[in-house]
């Protein structure tokens, strides 16, 4: 993607890259962002914080999949480092800590909703494709 390119062009012709960078090593910063958002917990945290401010234990309780305290701590710190989450510590005993999305974090929720909508719309087709693939490759061991 060139430095001046800021618009999404649609539709992308078959065989053409969705994005392109000046050099393959450059990657336009995409990998760095996708690594953060592609981890197991970050999107769950963003989705939960989209509903509003949450305290740490409340956030841990509402995230599906029983996230550990250590993993939630790492996840919110990484999201805070990336500018997506704001952490506020209140000087109480014990200290009260709250998390909320920043403006940039809120802008991400629109993309997450689009991905969720796509997932819901295509869930039956994905399930059918998986079933067909599994039947054609019974010994592949991919699930």
Q: Which pLDDT tens digit goes with each residue over 86-113?
A: 999 999 998 899 999 999 999 999 988 9
Asked if the model's pLDDT at residue 15 lies above 60, the reply is: yes
Asked if the model's pLDDT at residue 4 lies above 80, the reply is: no
106-121: average pLDDT: 91
Give the confidence band of 129 by pLDDT, cuts at 50, 70, 90.
Answer: very high
* Cα–Cα distance, 14 to 130 (Å, whole number): 23
Asked if the model's pLDDT at residue 17 lies above 90, the reply is: no
The larger pLDDT score, comparing residue 45 to residue 17, is at 45
Per the prediction, the chain carries an average pLDDT of: 85
Give the confidence band of 10 by pLDDT, cuts at 50, 70, 90.
Answer: low
Out of 2.40.50.140, 3.30.110.40, 3.40.190.10, 1.10.10.10, select the CATH number for domain 27-136: 1.10.10.10
The predicted model scores a pTM of 0.72
Asked if the model's pLDDT at residue 134 lies above 80, the reply is: yes
């Amino acid at each position: 993607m060139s430095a001046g390119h800021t618009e999404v062009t649609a539709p992308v012709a078959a065989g053409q890259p969705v994005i392109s960078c000046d050099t393959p090593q450059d990657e336009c910063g995409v990998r760095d962002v996708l690594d953060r958002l592609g981890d197991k917990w970050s999107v769950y945290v963003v989705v939960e914080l989209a509903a509003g401010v949450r305290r740490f234990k409340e956030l841990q309780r509402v995230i599906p999949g029983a996230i550990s305290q250590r993993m939630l701590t790492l996840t919110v710190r990484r999201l805070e480092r990336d500018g997506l989450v704001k952490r506020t510590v209140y000087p109480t005993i014990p200290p009260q800590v709250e998390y909320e999305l920043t403006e940039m974090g809120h802008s991400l929720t629109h993309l997450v909703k689009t991905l969720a909508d796509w997932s819901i719309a295509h869930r039956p087709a994905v399930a059918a494709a998986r079933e067909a693939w599994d039947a054609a490759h019974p010994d592949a061991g991919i699930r």
